[in-house]
Amino acid sequence: MFSTVISGALQGVSAYLVSVEVDASRGLPIFSMVGSLSQEVRESRERVLVALKNVGLHLQPCHITVNLSPADRRKEGTAFDLPIAVGLLEALEIVPKEAGDGILFLGELGLGGELKMIRGVLPMVRAAAAQGIRQCIVPTANVREGAVIPGIAVRGADNILEVMNFLTAEEEERERLLPSVLVDTGRLFGAGAGKNTKRPDFCEVVGQETARRAAEIAAAGFHNLLMVGPPGAGKSMIAKRIPGILPPLGLEESLEVTSVVSVAGLLEEGETLVTERPYKSPHHTISQAALIGGSAVPKPGMISLAHRGVLFLDELPEFQRGSLDALRQPLEERKVNISRMSGNVTYPSDFMLVCAMNPCPCGYYPDRNRCRCTENQVRKYMGRVSGPILDRVDLCVELQAVEYKNLMGEKQLEDSAAVRGRVERARERQKLRFQETGYRFNGDIEASAIEKYCGLGPEEQNCMEQLYSALQLSARAYHRILKVARTIADLAGDEHIGTEHLMEASFYRPSLEYWRF
């Protein structure tokens, strides 16, 4: 007999529905699978047959053909084990035909019949709900992940026998056998959510007022930040505290972040949603594929795992030159396109780039009492960071060693909550400004819209003209100064950009003392 079961497949961080068609007929005992399948999908036939045998189902020899449609799209992963098993049980009339109609099936089978955790459940359940599917069965370890999607009943099963019992039961018995799980997203994102989360706080950062101010501006406008200074000045300490001054994730942003984490297979068992902004700090030996994404089977890279959060690159000149230059397109387009023979995928990469570096190999330039590097060594070290990457940095701040009096002082410093309050108020102004556009932050403004949102009066234009000549700015750097000035004005509550905002924004451009090309 013939049967059809609904499943899903991933394409990047999105998903599409797959029809698992199973035909069982008399003939040579062959189990063939077609439909543009990867190796792990083809291995499903062994897992399915052995799992069914080990739960007490001895199948009669027959000719089995499985087709995963649409057949022209590459299928990856192990989520097809459960739908293939259900389709085979229907085709062999072990469970009633059409018992699985209107149900999405996802899950990997162990040889003992148990259902194991898979990746990408959230985007696949979301795609099914958008297509009108009202029920789905997934491994129990994934049930809370899928249950955040409204309009679809998500049921978790531990093994194939539970699924069989569910399919053979009467309609009124099904809810008792595999109850649907509900997740209250309002509790996750309601008032007070996340307040008890322990984060590093800005009140622990002594001195470095200029760097603290630059971090606040960067957070308010979602700008890229570079910190240059000697070892121990507090660069990494400040970077770790930036997620704490960013506004909390909203539900839609959380779904985006969770989808990336789920597709990468990094979601913890039983985890519902990622509710904290990501903070990723890869080591400088990371490969380009791991940073940007890719490999033979495309997977999200570190820049996608930092989506809606912070990507911190410490010891920036130590990263491979090719890896840094590969950041240029994602920084501009907020997404990364990966092409392989198996197809093209697009991953989101809307992250805030925060970088830190020493000014020379020893770390103490221009303090000639401690630095022993030659001018050529300093120039060569700083030259590892290309001009195009520097052009994409909105703010650059130079840190000095913390003085003893700051370490021993009794001064009460602002905590992250106070800074976050100002950042959130600036974000609200941007939200009102961009509500009829596709922009979200000042850092998103494209060159074509600069004049509209960052307009200058005659006095400000004269000031900007002098800055353009004195700082030897490129067109991109000119636009970035205007966007940073717009954010400074938002933090101050000013409707228009003033000369004081432009002067402060220009202060955060990379110093020509360090970079001489």
End-to-end CA distance of the chain: 73
Look up the pTM and report it.
0.89
Q: Clarify whether residues 248 and 389 are in a common domain.
A: yes
Q: Clarify whether residues 222 and 339 are in a common domain.
A: yes
Q: What is the pLDDT of residue 517?
A: 35
C-alpha dist (Å) from residue 417 to 55, 101, 319, 466? 55, 51, 33, 38
517 falls within a domain: no
Q: Clarify whether residues 341 and 434 are in a common domain.
A: yes
Q: Clarify whether residues 181 and 274 are in a common domain.
A: no
Q: Clarify whether residues 71 and 126 are in a common domain.
A: yes
Q: What is the pLDDT of residue 80?
A: 96
Element (H, E) at 10: strand 2-11
Q: What is the pLDDT of residue 485?
A: 96
9 falls within a domain: yes
Domain boundary among 132, 155, 186: 186
Q: Tally helices (H) and strands (E) across the chain.
A: 23, 19
467 falls within a domain: no
In this prediction, residue 193 has a pLDDT band, given cuts at 50, 70 and 90, of low
Q: Clarify whether residues 167 and 223 are in a common domain.
A: no
The answer to whether residue 514 scores a pLDDT higher than 80 is no
In this prediction, residue 99 has a pLDDT band, given cuts at 50, 70 and 90, of confident
How many domains does the chain divide into?
Answer: 2
Average pLDDT estimate for 425-449: 91
Other beta carbons within 10 Å of 405:
10
CA-to-CA distance for 18 and 75, rounded, in angstroms?
Answer: 9
Q: Clarify whether residues 211 and 178 are in a common domain.
A: no
504 falls within a domain: no
Do residues 268 and 276 touch, judged by C-beta distance below 8 A?
no
The answer to whether residue 195 scores a pLDDT higher than 60 is no
Average pLDDT estimate for 212-227: 95
Q: Clarify whether residues 175 and 246 are in a common domain.
A: no
The answer to whether residue 194 scores a pLDDT higher than 60 is no
Average pLDDT estimate for 50-56: 94
Q: Clarify whether residues 142 and 7 are in a common domain.
A: yes
Q: Clarify whether residues 26 and 132 are in a common domain.
A: yes
Q: What percent of the chain has pLDDT over 90?
A: 63
480 falls within a domain: no
CATH number at residue 235: 3.40.50.300
158 falls within a domain: yes
Phi, psi of 98 (to 5 degrees): 70, 15
Q: Clarify whether residues 218 and 182 are in a common domain.
A: no
The answer to whether residue 185 scores a pLDDT higher than 90 is no
CATH number at residue 75: 3.30.230.10
Closest CA to 4 of 67, 64, 55, 47: 67
The domain of 265 spans 202-442
Domain boundary among 442, 465, 483: 442
The answer to whether residue 118 scores a pLDDT higher than 70 is yes
Domain boundary among 126, 158, 186: 186
Q: What is the pLDDT of residue 196?
A: 47
The answer to whether residue 458 scores a pLDDT higher than 90 is yes
Average pLDDT estimate for 388-392: 83
Q: Pull the structure tokens for residue 105.
A: 């099936």
Q: Clarify whether residues 167 and 244 are in a common domain.
A: no
494 falls within a domain: no
Do residues 330 and 392 touch, judged by C-beta distance below 8 A?
no
Q: What is the pLDDT of residue 341?
A: 66
462 falls within a domain: no
Question: What confidence tens digit (pLDDT) does each residue in 55-86 have?
Answer: 998 888 899 999 999 998 989 999 999 999 99
